[in-house]
Structure 1
């Protein structure tokens, strides 16, 4: 592949596609529960250099491993996960040369070659950097010249490798000189390349402020964007021969914050656009085939949403039907990173990270296993952060206390076990199991049980009882479990109880009386016929009374 250094254009850039805005859809709705699924997240700090994370864009390779483009000290960098560890790398010729809104967009093809579209103030151009599977890297100029504009978004056609003849890489950017929204398609043929450019929209004397792009199943690009005069959310789509008519998605006219209130776009399996956008609140628009269906997702102060649709690949589209959106966004009011997920009828909203002022410049992607990946900026500590989250639709119950009574217990009497528990999934029914070993599967104690409830219960505490036999005499271990009606079981709570043999008065017989009586001795012929359940102590009194024992 020929390498050409980025050569001349001055400007600022705002990325969107998976960066400060992103949309995501999943194919199959999670298992329905009476309560919202729980969100479990693992959060990491990836880089802590000055100004790190002011822009981020995340993409996933064919293994579902995250690749994050971000800015650090005016330098374009990337963080790459290899399955066991992260590596950080400064992109050659990725000298951004300016701070603030530096648009980035990461994309990966099916050969796991990584691409980043970005804007460079140093070289005055919109450019593209790549990193292949051999570790080689380089950069190309997409368009150059004074005030060429900032990047709106980019995407990869997810087939072939970089030696193929194909329209591999596409990008949409704003040309400040002409006040036009432009599209560039990168065609490569065995090491040589060329850019084919078209005008998406001509807005006259005003500039495109923010936007995002994605590819449909025909690899046709679509863009969501707004300009600095109308502030209306607009949409344009390549038809195969032209950009067709431009649509106004939402003409609310709310002024968008430059760089952060960036819309995000993705396509569903019908090639209908889904768009998240944040004019002070989080909104979501879906094309129905004849009109735009718009809803408010969250009315708190919101900035910088990122939307991902369903089974998401490098072309940012949902692979098959039933796609529901995931939207990451920054809650300005609480300064938190949040996540909204449509469950088929309503939006479930979660706080992903609230440790300081976190969540700006967020980007989102979802892997085939359903894990949600987000990159974002920690403004409190000037850090790039990464969160990997998963939805847990059914959580196991938890035990707060276990009692057994009476303890000790006598053979033949009942010992009652009472378990106090809670279940985070409202409406679940449970059973308790007092197991003999610390193992349970499908509501069955692996080593047998002391007792368990036969019927389901929806309220705590729950009790069961056991009647010890003579073989249980001694100290016994038990392990209490609570399992719900989806066979999700709590961790065990262990304890012991003591079983005693039944106790009664010893029985002594002396029917024959004493024999061999002399003045100093006698043979006693008494016999203990029952010990009463314990080892008795025998007392013998010599005299003319019973020793006070009556």
Structure 2
């Protein structure tokens, strides 16, 4: 059975060996007014999660870099909440076999920076994230002299620039790279020649900043000792002093170093002679004198250590128990870690290698690690500072993740057509519903060259065929695909804009002239842009920068007003405002810009539709309090609007999508982040001063990346993402209020 054939929505697709279908009934059918099925589209499995490294982003959410063994890719997972019960997965580098020995930190610009090893070429590489979720990144090869780049470790220096230590396999040396800018486009490379007399050094490096200087722990493979080196300057041009904190047996592999609340160094590492977890507490910065403690000695324990300072000021160490195949945590009982309380957060199967620990915005440890038995990346969110209780979540590897994001429209045949992103393979896909309720669908991979399909938006052209705008993460371009048939079995893809990194947050509509009109975000310049197609298939387009003051243009949504001109809602990230741009001509060569809401941090996840009164109606997220809001435009150009809070219980209102129901009132789908639910709000009036709301799906973590349309049967049809299963799902409303509903 090919990907182009129709599938029943209750079937789980698993492309494990070729294309194989496995039936799976939905367990939550009891909530339906008739049996329903979930569209759980899982296109396969992979071996992912080795060499994981975790940090906490500027948004307070976990950001994890790791290696995809199956595809030889560098990947990143951006947690959707503080407990990381789900995450958005992105493949950052697919060129060759890349992504081993990752290390991640948040740069002074608030964006992730990742050092890693290119095994194909034997090079040290760096990825600088383009946004807080790291959906794409700028890639740079820093060192290609010989076989270099294993055992990388990255920290941000007092000069606000990344400092990377790594191993030179060819010469058996420890090296340092000091980046020249926050993105690490270039770097000063230094072989720490003072150490060359020591033999084969530089494995298991870990770097931290202490007193403004880099301090490096590493393993001397010649003498089999744990050693440390203090950099004399921010660039680490030459270590002024090396010390041997521990030389009792074969010690020092899997070292991890951090700076305690007392500004003293704490180093965790593995004692290979005895199979123990050990820790060194340095009594001064250069670590010429230190206290050594064996924290765990039962069985073979202590590989893959990672250390951080908890919110209580005490060390927290994640590590691997090789005897039992468990993930373990040691919580220090004093600043010097002379003793520790041990915990086992995960003992299911063979788990706990490649661990990395960070302290979350909630003050609790967050640990990434590898599940050997299943080939999965997993994360543990500790329930307390000592991790005696924890929540375990598989993030990647159980199944291919599809459906985030998705966009839906009703085709000329009256059936739903969905564009969506296959995060594992980096593909743009289309699902063409077989009936009005989307009880089955035909799936097609529309574009698969590079990492394409994020920020997709779909509409139907005047030729009756789907037109899809989306982001090409590999090249940083705005792309458009014109389908050759209603189901998009074949299509033509075109690059519309490649000036810098452009094309995120796309939204597409058909103008009054019958041509496509696309709003999108220019990442490089932080601008709102529009592309006006020159023909029906959008083989080329006129590009216009609409708003360039401040960082604007994220979360765009475009529609055509009752005056025949484009109306664009968007987010002003600099000021945290909801804004709108009203086009002054069909091609949107210029706009009138208005600020609709500036109360708090507002305007993310905006969606705009034209109400039955001919005026714009915009749903959006108020991030300050976590509320769903709506703005009803006062005139055609939306110079001002009446703002209402529709739902304020918990953190709700992300991923909004709005349409107008057959009763002439707004219908809004959105995500309840507090409960992990898909919800729908039905406006009580045309201007939506109030609304009724209901949870459409509440089992599992569901409801992100929603898109809502009204079908030819007059009922709402909602596509959304099931983060628990990594699946694209559909809900078909049974009436205008979406009560009851059928989940597909």
Q: What TM-score comes out, normalization by structure 1 length?
A: 0.54
In 2, Cα distance between the equivalents of 1:199 and 1:271? 27
In structure 1, what is the Cα distance between the partners aligned to 2:204 and 2:383? 30
CA shift digits 1:262-293 (9 cap, x unpaired): 11001124432110001220001000126110
Cα offset, 1:95, TM superposition: 3.8
Partner in structure 1 of residue 518 of structure 2: none
- Does the CA-based 8 Å contact 1:112-1:132 persist in structure 2? no
Q: 2:264 aligns with which of 260, 272, 278?
A: 272
Cα distance change of structure 1 residues 389 and 211 upon mapping to structure 2, 3 Å threshold = same
- Aligned with residue 114 of structure 1, among 105, 112, 115: 112
Residue of 326, 329, 332 corresponding to 2:322: 332
Which blocks of at least 5 consecutive residues in structure 1 are unaligned? 1-46, 159-165, 313-321, 396-550
Q: SS of 1:330's equivalent?
A: strand
Contact 2:316/2:332 (8 A) holds in 1: yes
Structure 2 residue aligned with 1:87: 88
Asked whether the 8 Å contact 1:157–1:168 carries over to 2, the reply is yes
**Is the 8 Å Cα contact of residues 69 and 104 (structure 1) preserved in structure 2?**
yes
Find the partner of 2:60 among 57, 64, 71.
64
How far apart, CA to CA, are the structure 2 residues paired with 1:111 and 1:186?
Answer: 14
The verdict on how the C-alpha distance between 1:183 and 1:68 changes in structure 2, with shifts beyond 3 A counting, is: same
In the TM superposition, what whole-angstrom CA distance separates every residue of 1:428-454 from its partner, at most 9, and x where no partner exists? xxxxxxxxxxxxxxxxxxxxxxxxxxx
Check the 8 A contact 1:311/1:368 in 2, yes or no: no
**Rg comparison, structure with higher value:** 1
User: Matched residues in 2 for 1:305 and 1:151: separation?
Assistant: 12
Query: Does the 8 Å CA contact 1:173/1:183 hold for their aligned counterparts?
Result: yes
CA contact (8 A) 2:101 2:116 kept: yes
Change (3 A) 1:195 1:152: same
Per-residue deviation, residues 202-242 of structure 1 (Å, max 9, x unmatched): 24553533221112252x21111112211100000113274
How far, CA to CA, are the matches of 1:331 and 1:364 in structure 2? 16
- Could you tell me how far 1:392 is from its partner in structure 2? 7.4
Matches within 5 A, 1:370-389: 370-389=363-382
1:59 to partner: Cα distance: 0.8
Contact 2:55–2:106 (CA<8 Å) still a contact in 1? yes
Question: Does structure 1 conserve the Cα–Cα contact (< 8 Å) formed by 2:276 and 2:296?
Answer: yes
Q: Which residue among 239, 244, 247 is the counterpart of 1:248?
A: 244
Deviation at 1:168, TM superposition (A): 1.5
Corresponding residue for 2:734? none
Cα drift, residue 373 of structure 1 = 0.3
Residue among 227, 236, 239 paired with 2:229? 236
**Alpha-carbon distance in 1 for matches of 2:171, 2:62:** 36
Matches within 5 A, 1:226-375: 226-240=219-233, 242-254=238-250, 261-279=253-271, 280-289=275-284, 291-300=289-298, 301-310=300-309, 323-344=313-334, 346-375=339-368
Asked if structure 2 preserves the Cα contact closer than 8 Å seen for 1:273 and 1:287, the reply is yes
The 1:265/1:283 distance shift into structure 2, 3 A limit, reads: same
1:105-131 CA-partner distances (Å, limit 9, x unpaired): 011125431111000012331010111
Size of the alignment, in residue pairs? 324
For the 8 Å contact 2:254–2:270, the answer to whether it is kept is: yes
Q: What is residue 169 of structure 1 aligned with on the other side?
A: 162
Report SS of the residue matched to 1:146: coil
Quote how far apart the aligned CAs of 1:132 are. Answer: 2.0
Structure 2 CA distance, aligned partners of 1:234 and 1:192? 27
Give the gaps of 5 or more residues in structure 2. Answer: 1-42, 389-744
User: C-alpha offsets along residues 487-529 of structure 1, whole Å, 9 cap, x if unaligned?
Assistant: xxxxxxxxxxxxxxxxxxxxxxxxxxxxxxxxxxxxxxxxxxx
Q: Is the 8 A contact 1:126 1:151 kept in 2?
A: no
- CA gap of 1:303–1:309, structure 2 versus 1, over 3 A, is closer
1:392–1:224 Cα change, 3 Å: closer
Which residue matches 1:130? 128
Q: What is the SS of the residue equivalent to 1:151? A: strand
Residues in 2 aligned to 1:187 and 1:224: alpha-carbon distance in whole angstroms: 23
| Residues 347 and 87 of structure 1: CA distance in aligned 2, closer, same or farther (over 3 Å) | same
Superposition deviation, residue 147 in structure 1? 1.8
Structure 2 length normalisation: TM-score? 0.41
Judged with a 3 Å threshold, the aligned counterparts in structure 2 of structure 1 residues 175 and 112 are, in CA distance, closer, same or farther, namely same
How many angstroms apart in 2 are the aligned matches of 1:311 and 1:157? 21
Question: Deviation of residue 352 (structure 1)?
Answer: 0.5
The answer as to whether partners of 1:230 and 1:253 remain within 8 angstroms in 2 is: no
Summarize deviations over 1:520-545 as a string: whole Å, max 9, x none: xxxxxxxxxxxxxxxxxxxxxxxxxx
Shift of 1:48: 8.7
Aligned CA distance change for structure 1 residues 251 and 346 (closer, same or farther; 3 Å): closer
- Counterpart for residue 487 of structure 1: none
CA distance in 2, matches of 1:125, 1:302: 31
- 1:53 positional shift: 1.3
Deviation, structure 1 residue 136 = 4.6
Instruction: Give deviations 1:345-381, integer Å, cap 9, x for gaps.
Output: 7311111100001101111011243211000111111
4+ residue runs over 6 A deviation: none
Shift of 1:199: 2.9
Q: Choose between structure 1 and 2 for higher RCO, CA contacts under 8 A separated by at least 6 residues.
A: 1
The aligned counterpart of 1:188 is 181
Contact preservation (8 Å) 2:256, 2:269 = yes
Q: Is the 8 A contact 2:47 2:376 kept in 1?
A: yes
Query: Mean alpha-carbon deviation: is it higher for 204-213 or for 364-373?
Result: 204-213
Q: Distance in 2 between matches of 1:342 and 1:192?
A: 35
Structure 1 residue 97: deviation in Å? Answer: 4.9
Give the superposition deviation at 1:197: 2.1
Root-mean-square deviation (CA), in Å?
Answer: 2.9
Cα gap change, 1:93 to 1:380, in 2 (>3 Å): closer
What CA distance in whole angstroms lies between the structure 2 residues aligned with 1:306 and 1:112? Answer: 26
Distance in 2 between the 1:254 and 1:91 partners? 37
CA contact (8 A) 1:79 1:89 kept: yes
* 8 A contact 2:173–2:202 mirrored in 1: yes
Query: How far apart are the structure 2 equivalents of 1:66 and 1:304?
Result: 23
